[in-house]
Amino acid sequence: MFEHSIFSMPFIFIAMCVAANGWFGWKLLIFGVIATLSARNFAMAFNRCVDRRFDKTNPRTQNRPSVDGRISVKAMIVFIGINALIFILVSFFINPLCFYLSFPILGVLAGYSLVKRVSSLAHLVLGLCLGLAPIAGVVAVSGEVLLWSLPLCVGVLFWVAGFDLLYSLQDVQHDKKEGLHSIPSFLGIERTLYLSRIFHILVIVFWVLFIYWAKLGIFMWVGLVIAALFLAYEQYLVAKNFHNIPRAFFSVNGYLGVIFFGFCILDLVIRG
């Protein structure tokens, strides 16, 4: 599902733009897009493959092509392998540190699908999977991890974990039945809603640190205020009616990343 890359891709390019103090070149743009798509394809295909047994018993997922036989297990394994190879090769051609880090990153991406079998912290692991995106962007441009990229990473981690908590509210009964670990099935619905709000408050805290440490300008602060409003609207939609969860998950979060990236570009262009 290529469209799911919209969650991580803006933050990769935010990190790359800030690290380069502007335009980072066509080569890194092309490699960044390919790396993002291949990593996302790898992660989602791996998840679909190893979760087939659970997806069959979940009314929300039982009609997926990976479950009903339209896509075979062999095809999924081949797809997983091809995308892993593409990710590693692209990383090799960017710089040595990207290449060395490509292997543990794939391990983290695959690990999310397994953690939920043993721990409710899987939501935070998923957040880490996407939180690594800005770190990858910085490494691609500078060949090292810069300090300001860390709060950007942690902010993305809590952003993703926060909206994954909301998304997981759809599967509370199924998770309990199948013995899968999730925070909603452990804490209950009301406490999960509060925890998601705390996570999204932490997003703003860490992105304040990012903007301050990276010495960015007024337009990034404006972008942060708009991001905060989007997070508040997402929380409102879900609290109002759980039928709004898909809309909040895909639409609101998709716009948040793109708009935040847009203000980053505007900030860098104005500062010249």
**264 neighbors 220 (Cβ within 8 angstroms):** yes
CA distance linking residue 248 with residue 169, whole number of Å: 13
Scored b (16 or more CB within 10 A) or e, 62-99 reads eebebbeeebeeeebeebbeebbebbbebbeebbeebe
**On the CB side of 155, how many CA atoms lie within 13 Å of its CA?**
26
**130 neighbors 157 (Cβ within 8 angstroms):** yes
- What is the token pair recorded at 167? 């998304």
CA-based angle 138:143:145, to the nearest 5? 50
Domain positions in the chain are: 2-271
pLDDT in tens, 62-117: 788 888 888 899 999 999 999 999 999 999 999 999 999 999 999 999 988 888 78
3-state percent breakdown (helix, strand, coil) of the chain, nearest 5: 85, 0, 15
pLDDT at position 93 is 96
2-271 maps to CATH 1.10.357.140: yes
pLDDT at position 242 is 79
pLDDT at position 55 is 79
Kindly report the pTM of this predicted structure.
0.92
**234 neighbors 163 (Cβ within 8 angstroms):** yes
Scored b (16 or more CB within 10 A) or e, 198-215 reads ebbebbbebbebbbeebe
Residue type for position 160: V
CA distance linking residue 201 with residue 198, whole number of Å: 5
CA distance linking residue 200 with residue 226, whole number of Å: 13
- What is the token pair recorded at 178? 């199948």
Q: Which residues contact 106 (CB under 8 A, 6 or more apart)?
A: 39, 42, 84, 87, 88
Tens of pLDDT, residue by residue, the chain (272 residues): 555 567 778 999 999 999 999 999 999 999 999 999 999 999 999 988 988 887 788 777 778 888 888 889 999 999 999 999 999 999 999 999 999 999 999 999 998 888 878 888 888 999 999 999 999 999 999 999 999 999 999 999 999 999 989 988 887 776 677 677 788 888 888 999 999 999 999 999 999 999 999 999 999 999 999 999 999 999 999 888 878 888 777 778 888 999 999 999 999 998 76
Question: Would you say the C-alpha torsion 156, 101, 137, 89 has a positive or negative sign?
Answer: negative
Q: Where are the beta strands (DSSP E) in 86-147?
A: none
pLDDT at position 200 is 97
pLDDT at position 167 is 85
Mean pLDDT computed over every residue of the chain:
89
CA-based angle 19:253:211, to the nearest 5? 30
Residue of 106, 59, 52, 103 whose CA lies nearest to 74? 52
